Amino acid sequence: MAKFEVYPDKSGQWRWRFRANNGRIVADSAESYVNKTDCIDGAKIIKAEAPNAEIVQTTS
């Protein structure tokens, strides 16, 4: 089952990662949070907004 994992990093701050059904990490917070609650809120935002997100091609 796909899931968001919330975990403390090496510096003692909080991060989230999203694991696909096959167990692979397919997204992460890319930044740490001082408060666990803020980390969970960040994951909730991604969870809520992802179904509406567009897939767009960009050029470099």
Phi, psi at 22, each rounded to 5°: -85, 5
Q: Round to whole Å and give the CA distance between 3 and 41.
A: 15
Domain of 40, CATH number, reads: 3.30.160.160
Residue located via tokens 């994951």: 43
Q: Which domain holds residue 33?
A: 3-48
In a domain? residue 39 = yes
pLDDT by residue, tens only, the chain of 60 residues: 999 999 999 999 999 999 999 999 999 999 999 999 999 999 999 999 998 999 999 997
pLDDT of residue 60: 75
Contact partners, residue 36, CB within 8 Å, separation at least 6: 6, 14
This prediction's pTM: 0.85
Domains held by the chain: number:
1
Distance of alpha carbon 26 from its chain centroid, rounded?
9
